[in-house]
Amino acid sequence: MGWTMGLATAALFVGLAMVATGSPQMTCAPEPVNATDTDLCNGLEVTYPEVGNIDCKVIPSCNGYRKKITTWSQPMVKYPMASENSTYMLVMVDPDAPSRASPQARYWRHWLVVDIKGADLKKGTVKGQELTTYEPPTPPPQTGFHRYQFSVFLQDGKAISLLPQESAARGFWGLEQFLIRFQLTNPEARTQFMTQNYEDSPDVSPEPAPPAQGVSAPKDKLKMSGFAFLVCVHLAHHL
C-alpha cells in the first residue's frame, strides 16, 4: 500500500502542477476590442513582442503587459496589401488624450513616418523618414482605456512635413488639418489597439476567454481537475 500511495501522491502533484502551469498561458491572450470600437479594423497588423499582433485587441493586464508596453520600442507594422512600388505614410495617434471622456489634447502624435517603401511595409518593416519618433503608449492613471490608432496613407509623390508649431508638441495635433494640407483623406488601411495605465489594472489572470477564442482552455483544465479528483478518491480509498 505504501508504494501505491507514493505513486498516487506523485500523480496528484503532477496533475496539480499541470493545472497550475497550464492555465495562465492559455488565458493571458489579447481579447478583441468592444464591438463599438471595431470601425478601424481594416487591413493593418501591429505586432509587439510577447503579445503578438494586437490588431483591434486590448493589451491584457496579465503578465505585466500593460507595464511592459510602456517600455517596448516601435512595433512591427505590416500592410500585406501594400503595393511594392508605392510609398506610404504611417500615422500613430491617441485620440483619447488625456482621456476618452475629455480629450482636450486630441490628437497625441505617437509616431509619424513618411517615405516608407511599399515593399518594406508589405513585410512589416517601417523604414522611412521619421518626422516624429515613436513614443510608447503611457496612458495616465485614472484616465480609462485609450485607443492607439494606426493609419497608412498612400503618399506617392508628395513631400510631407510638419509645420514648426506642429513639431513643437505631440499633443493638440490637428490631424484633420494636416491631412487636408496634403490632400490625404482616405487611409489605405487602419487599425487600433487599446490599453490603460497598468496601476489601474491589477495584474491577475483575466476572465476565462470567450468561447470563440479559448475553446480548449476550460476543457483541458476540467480534464486535469478531474484527473486530480480521481487520484484523490484513489488515495482516500487506500487510507
Cβ-Cβ contacts under 8 Å for 134 (sequence gap 6 or more): 73, 74, 92, 110, 111
Q: In what order do the strands lie in the sheet with 76-78?
A: 52-53, 45-48, 76-78
Shortest distance, CB of residue 176 to ligand NAG, whole angstroms? 24
Pick between residue 58 and residue 89 the one whose CB is nearest to ligand NAG: 58
- Which CB sits closer to ligand NAG, 147 or 170? 147
- Bridge-based pairing of strands 52-53 and 45-48 is antiparallel
CA separation for the pair 162, 181 (Å, rounded) = 10
Cell of 73: 520600442
Amino acid at 82: A
Please report how close the Cβ of residue 76 comes to ligand NAG at its closest, in angstroms. 22
- Cβ proximity to ligand NAG: between 101 and 168 the closer is 101
Query: 195 with 137: CB under 8 angstroms?
Result: yes
Binding residues for ligand NAG, rule: CB under 6 A, are 33-34, 58, 83-85, 145, 194
Find the helix or strand (DSSP H, E) in which 15 lies.
Answer: helix 2-27
When the beta carbons of 58 and 189 are compared against ligand NAG, the nearer one is 58
Estimate to the nearest angstrom the gap between the alpha carbon of 171 and the chain centroid: 22
CB of 85 to ligand NAG, least distance (A): 4
C-beta of 8 vs 154, nearer to ligand NAG: 154
Provide, rounded to whole angstroms, the least separation between the CB of residue 114 and ligand NAG. Answer: 20
CB of 229 to ligand NAG, least distance (A): 36
